[in-house]
Amino acid sequence: MSAVEQAVIKYATSVSDSKSATGDSTLLVVPASKRFKLISAVISASGGINTVILKTGAVTGLAATTFAANGTLVLPYNPAGWIFGALDADFIINLSAATAVGINYTYFLWDS
């Protein structure tokens, strides 16, 4: 493992959350003058069909997929990152239906 990968793991934060409201819901409020990088995630839908979009602020970072009931998407560890947040942009999940979606994700913050 490279020194960069070790640094990413050392300073990464893992979070478990769930959302069930239609539209945008904030997963991570990014502190002022910071950016975030999503390095892994597991998204699970427990209800009916639901399209999940991961966003950085108002910009789509990853248009995930349409989930059937009990569907799961795995974004494995990626030190290069799956989503890079813009400066001061929060990490947001957008749901097309008001059914529960769980997300476990790992990210890190850095100065602009």
- Per the model's pLDDT, the better-predicted residue between 99 and 106 turns out to be 106
Do 110 and 34 touch, CB atoms closer than 8 A?
A: yes
Counting the structural domains of the chain, the total is 1
Q: pLDDT tens, 64-84?
A: 677 777 888 899 999 889 998
Question: Can you tell me which residue has the tokens 């979606």?
Answer: 101
Mean pLDDT of 54-73: 80
Measure CA of the first residue to CA of the last residue in the chain; give whole Å.
Answer: 26
Q: What pLDDT, on a 0 to 100 scale, did the predictor assign at position 10? A: 58
* 1 three-class SS: coil
What CATH number is given to the structural domain containing 34?
2.60.120.340
C-alpha–C-alpha distance, residues 5 and 92, integer Å: 25
Task: Calculate the average pLDDT of the chain.
Answer: 84
**Confidence class for position 17, pLDDT limits 50, 70, 90:** confident
pLDDT over 60 (residue 39): yes
Q: What pLDDT, on a 0 to 100 scale, did the predictor assign at position 40? A: 95
Enclosing H/E stretch for 4: helix 3-11
Domain that holds residue 20: 3-111
Specify the amino acid at residue 65: T
What does each C-alpha distance from 36 to 17, 44, 49 come to in angstroms? 17, 22, 29
Do 107 and 91 touch, CB atoms closer than 8 A?
A: yes
